[in-house]
Amino acid sequence: MELYQELTKDVRFVEGLKSCMNCGVCTAICPAAEFYDYDPRIIAGIIQSKDEKRIEELLKSETIWYCGECMSCKTRCPRGNTVGLIIMALRALSQELGYFAESEKGRQQLVIKRVIGGNIVTKGYCLLPENLVPELHPEQGPVGEWIYENKEEVYERVGANYKGDGEGALRKIPQESIDEISRIFEITGGFNRFDKIEYFSKKKAESMGFPENGDDYTDYINHTFTTNNGKHNRQ
Amino acid sequence: MKREGKIQVWQDYQKEIADDHYFYVRSCIRQNFFPGSEQTFLKILRKELNKDIYENPHHTSCSGIGYHSDIVPFDTIQTIVARQFALMTEAGYKNLAVSCITSFGIYNEIIETWKEFPSELEKVRNFLKKATGREFEIPQNVAHASDIVYKFRQEIAEAGKNRLVNQKTGEPLKIVEHIGCHYSKMFPSKGVGGAEFPHVLVGMIESWGGEVVDYPERRHCCGFGFRQYLVMSNRGYSVSNSRKKFESMEPYKPDAIVSNCPGCPMFLDRWQYVIEEMEGKTYGENGQGIPVLTYEEMAGLVLGYNPWDMGMQMHQTNVEPLLDKMGIKYDPDLKYTRKDGKMIGKPTMVGCRC
């Protein structure tokens, strides 16, 4: 497979890379470049070189997972490039080929797929109050814990329709609509991506010696959710 | 530059915002963390402004958090968005009112993609028809909910019972405004004031008596970063970016932060607590945090709404210092009560450890 050619099939890639002169304005404005060992200017340069070996290395690297997709680069590029869009095309291809499982940051796709992806296709939302378990979200603080422990009462007090029928915040989305979302995922390749993330993650989990945990690979999930090797940050 | 010239320049930064008859799409993040803000927005439109805004219970998430954490393919999100448009078309509406900045960016990205790549539009029409049997029209107008509040800011000011003014000193309150990256960084022409001079919150603040704080990192990201917050081991990215903003705004002694995006106020609220826990540092007066508001809450306070009806008890950083400055009366005993007035119980700690 010609990796560069594959990237050009993604309209976001076509929009994202016009002609980079490596001025570095994207790097200057990039929140990720300030925090991580990350330089969007180099990403654009590697892709523009069409060097298949370097593109493959990138697809297997930690680097492509550092971007926060804030798209600040879009505003500033004097030539109308958007490294954030290039990153989205790279991440899509990395998951298609299973390369994402080769990096610590890439392996986190499984937990995102299980939680956010699971929510979308079963409840119709990206995020649910039930996800904000205090142990997993200590940043939510004592108020977040209070909300979590008293969900029904707090949400009712502020006018939400938590798990209720009809309209309103946090309402239960009717099953026929959830079924439509599922069919959209089936037809458009959404479930295909989910399956690839599961397949390659399980292979990786096995190679790293994690137990199946009844085919859920819970230990592996917990590992990817909490592990940070401390080598990602800008020094 | 003469005033006429300035007006001409600013014409480039205006945005058309529909006047009435909106199809409302909710935000996953806002309804989790600030559900009262969505209720407040609908109340303002229906009760104060007498506008028609319709919500179809069958609409779903746009799947934007999944898209920007790269588990949802572009074809999939395009078709989910097309389904939202189909629900709007079927209900007879042409104006979309979007509660979420991430969704707002996505709606604009997809509509612009369809203009640039008509084959994508054709493909998505086929996907949607095959998956659901539905057809759709592209909205005539896409407004973020804040655009609509901005459009009617003078009417809100006239109906208002409170001003963004310190009642003891008579001075305007100093407000930090945070726009949210996906409002106009991707498509500047889709936001009021573009990417260079975002005016959507400035207009509200100034119309309601406040003073906008201009500080070096005013346009910096709050640090959500999608996967950079969703995964626990990445959250250093998120808090570091918020911290950069707090450090930058601190010398200007803001009375409050108001945010456009649903996620940003949660981060700017919660990360103040985390930074205090980690470093013992607070950014507000008297060892307290800086109160963080959604723009709906700010509008609601101006209109005299009860802060606890709007859900301001769901903030970690105390909002009472701001309420006190504005001269707003509130009953502290009702802050943590249920709908029927009975006590739920209190959080173990509110605000910062002070």
Q: Among A191, A174, A85, A51, which residue's Cα sits nearest to residue B109?
A: A85
The answer to whether residue A99 scores a pLDDT higher than 50 is yes
Instruction: Count how many domains chain B has.
Output: 2
Evaluate if residue A113 carries a pLDDT over 90: yes
Find the DSSP H helices in chain B: 3-11, 28-33, 35-43, 64-68, 74-90, 101-116, 118-132, 145-151, 153-159, 181-184, 200-207, 227-230, 235-249, 263-279, 295-303, 320-326
Residue B180 lies in a domain: yes
Are residues B305 and B245 located together in one domain of the fold? yes
Helix, strand or coil, per DSSP, at residue A36? strand
Name the residue in chain B with its Cα closest to that of A113.
Answer: B71
Residue B2 forms part of a structural domain: no
B16 domain residue, yes or no: no
Same-domain status, B105 and B213? no
pLDDT in tens, A177-191: 999 999 999 999 999
| Domain A3-97, CATH | 1.10.1060.10
Whole-number average pLDDT of chain A = 97
In angstroms, the CA B299 to CA B293 distance is 10
Q: What is the ipTM of this complex?
A: 0.98
Q: Which residues contact A123 (CB under 8 A, 6 or more apart)?
A: A173, A178
Are both B91 and B31 inside the same structural domain? yes
Chain B contact present for A133, CB below 8 A: no
Alpha carbon distance A108, A220 (integer Å)? 10
Contact A170 B35 (CB under 8 A): yes
Whole-number Å distance between alpha carbons of B311 and B265: 13
Burial-class residue A126 by CB neighbours within 10 Å (0-12, 13-18, 19+).
buried
Q: pLDDT tens digits, residue range B295-328?
A: 999 999 999 999 999 999 999 999 999 999 999 9
The arithmetic mean of pLDDT across residues B112-122, rounded, is 97
What chain A residue is nearest to B65 in terms of C-alpha separation? A126
Sign of CA dihedral A176, A178, A180, A186: negative
Helices A190-207 and A218-226 pack at an angle, to 10 degrees, of 90
Q: Which of B117, B145, B173 is the last residue of a domain?
A: B145
Min distance B17 CA to chain A CA atoms (Å): 22
**What DSSP state is assigned to residue B251?**
G
Helix axes of A52-59 and A40-49: crossing angle, nearest 10 degrees = 140
For residue B6, how many other CB atoms are within 10 A of its CB?
10
Residue A195 neighbours by CB under 8 Å, 6+ apart: none
Residues of A in contact with B223 (CB under 8 A): 31, 68
- Which residues 37-66 in chain A show a CB within 8 A of chain B? 65
Helices (H) and strands (E) in chain A, counts: 15, 0
Report the alpha-carbon distance of residue B328 to residue B306 in Å, rounded: 9
Quick check: B125 pLDDT over 70? yes
- Looking at residue B352, what is its pLDDT? 64
Q: How confident is the model at residue B353 (pLDDT cuts 50, 70, 90)?
A: low
> Looking up tokens 């990417």, which residue turns up?
B195
- pLDDT tens, B256-302? 999 999 999 999 999 999 999 999 999 999 899 999 999 999 999 99
Query: Does residue B111 share a domain with residue B229?
Result: no
Q: Residue B314 domain-assigned?
A: yes
Q: Does a structural domain hold residue B242?
A: yes
Q: How big is the CA angle at A16 (ends A13 and A22), to the nearest 5 degrees?
A: 120
Between CA A82 and CA A84 the distance in angstroms is 5
E strand or H helix at A182, and its extent? helix A175-188
Question: Are the Cβ atoms of A190 and B73 closer than 8 angstroms?
Answer: yes
Residue B123 maps to a domain? yes
CATH code of the domain covering residue B174:
3.40.50.11810
Delimit the CATH 1.10.1060.10 region(s) of chain A.
Answer: 3-97
A28 burial via Cβ count (<10 Å: 0-12, 13-18, 19+): middle
Which pLDDT value is given to residue A207?
98
Contact map slice: B 135-174 vs A, CB within 8 A: none
Residue after which a domain boundary falls, among B145, B164, B192: B145
Q: What's the pLDDT score for residue B354?
A: 42
Give the span between the Cα atoms of B43 and A167, in whole angstroms: 14
pLDDT for A218 equals 96
Same domain, B161 and B277: yes
For residues B74 and B30, membership in a common domain is answered with: yes
Same domain? For B140 and B205 the reply is no
Contact list, A190 vs chain B (CB under 8 Å): 72-73, 75-76
Write out pLDDT tens, residues A208-222. 999 999 989 999 999
What CATH code is carried by the domain that includes residue B34?
1.20.1050.140
Q: B123, B145, B167: which is the final residue of a domain?
A: B145
Mean pLDDT over each residue of chain B, to the nearest integer: 96
Same domain, B269 and B315: yes
Same-domain pairing of B206 and B166: yes
Mutate to test the interface with A, among B65, B71, B276 (most CBs of A within 10 A): B71
Domain of B59 in residue numbering reads as: 22-145
Q: Do A95 and B70 touch (CB under 8 A)?
A: yes
Tens-digit pLDDT profile for residues B154-209? 999 999 999 999 999 999 999 999 999 999 999 999 999 999 889 999 999 999 99
On whether both B199 and B280 belong to a single domain, the answer is yes
Do B261 and B285 lie in a common domain? Answer: yes
